[in-house]
Structure 1
């Protein structure tokens, strides 16, 4: 299944150039970024078309992708790494579907 965010856009966001040596890794991390955004919003985002995906959600997914690509591990010496960046969380929050009974 093709994601609403293309590999080309993901590579442009990461500023990796035209080289294809990391394409498989970037594609895998883009899938992960969609998974994180879907968990945060309780929505299925990967089945949306590029026109249906809200710009704020697209921006959050690209931010998450950048974090996943830049940090190969949860432990970064001298720096705290959170589960979801504050910016990405703020971009996704308005799109979150809250199940009944959740407060």
Structure 2
């Protein structure tokens, strides 16, 4: 049981860290735009997509433009919240499991 707790904590911590390092992208209207990672955001592709949308010819109809930079910010914030929560939970579970494991080993020998 203690070893399972340690392994579960380690896996949760690893998933949280990998989530922080994995690239994020947004894809409204079938156009994928890269946003960088939660640790190192890169809004250059999003800004270029915003410039492309603003350069399209406008007619008398109402056109709703997509703000790719804001979409990237929102996605990165969501990724950070989830990944940091997972990593922190993994650290707590790992610490609890290690404490239980060390205490059980001290009792037996």
Query: What is the TM-score with the length of structure 2 in the denominator?
Result: 0.28
Larger radius of gyration: 2
Query: What is the TM-score with the length of structure 1 in the denominator?
Result: 0.30
Larger relative strand fraction: 2
Between the two structures, name the one with larger relative contact order (CA 8 Å, sep ≥ 6). Answer: 2
